[in-house]
Amino acid sequence: MRRGTTLTMGVFLLYYISVYLLGGDFMKMRPEHKKKAIKLLSSVVPFSSLSPQKLEELVVSDGVELKEFSVGQQVFPCRSVSDSLAVLLSGECRTLADKTIVSVEHEGALFGAAQLYAKGGAQRRSEAATVCRVLFVSHYAVDMLIEQSSDFARSYIALLSSQVLSSEEKSQAASPDKAKKVLAGYLLSRPRNSKGEVALPQDMFKLAKQLELDKNTLFKAIEAFNAEGLIAFNGNAVCIADEEKLRSFI
């Protein structure tokens, strides 16, 4: 094998590892990216507490990186970026729990606020549903913002507090809307047979546990979808009768 061919294969292999295994492709921060990033961050807590000048300084600093992800690539946690906050600059991401879609994030979504200062906690995986561009703000950059700006620090604390309260409310009782959202994500993410049917597990109590739902709430969501004509039962399988409407719950 020629040296040139070997070198070309080596370069391709490195590219494959960096993009497909580590996830995403680093991008140069162009003027149009910078302009959009500043505008978007001005509406995303906790960055919205910063002045336009501080946002501009942040975006062009060494503590911020821009990456592009292809459909299906893992966006967060990102294997090729150290501990960071991530902001979805463009595109859509889907967050999964045990391969089940639990939410779809759009432009302006923030990832990693709680995990940045809580090591070892479980993290749900987010992947690109479309081509995505994501802004990563390093742990060090966030530390500097907290140290230099009391407004940023208070805003960050308020954000974490709201997440804690939200988590407590969810643990007390799962809402019907949440159950429908989680169930819709599960049904749409499961493989279908030749008839377009999704097989349901025989043990629905295990399914409720997997989806982190109260079993009664899950059964009510299934009954509601059936009554509304979104799904139809065929033995131990479910036929998705109205995929478009079902997808609207995600």
Query: What was the pLDDT predicted at 22?
Result: 47
Query: What was the pLDDT predicted at 7?
Result: 46
Mean pLDDT of the chain: 84
pLDDT under 70: residue ranges of the chain: 1-23, 98, 119-123, 166-174
Query: What was the pLDDT predicted at 171?
Result: 54
* Cα of 121 vs its chain's centroid, Å: 16
Report the DSSP beta bridge partners of residue 67. Answer: 26, 134
Query: What was the pLDDT predicted at 19?
Result: 43
β-bridge pairing 132-138 and 84-90: antiparallel
- Containing 15, the helix (H) or strand (E) segment is helix 3-16
So where are the chain's domains? 12-171, 176-247
Query: What was the pLDDT predicted at 167?
Result: 64
CATH fold of 12-171, please? Jelly Rolls (2.60.120)
Asked if 145 and 93 count as a contact pair (C-beta separation under 8 A), the reply is no
User: What are the C-alpha distances in Å from 164 to residues 49, 77, 158, 161, 168?
Assistant: 20, 20, 10, 5, 6
CATH fold of 176-247, please? Arc Repressor Mutant, subunit A (1.10.10)
pLDDT tens digits along 129-186: 999 999 999 999 999 999 999 999 999 999 999 887 766 665 544 577 888 999 999 9
The predicted model scores a pTM of: 0.63
* Share of residues in the chain with pLDDT > 70 (%): 85
d(CA 231, CA 229): 6
* Cα of 120 vs its chain's centroid, Å: 18
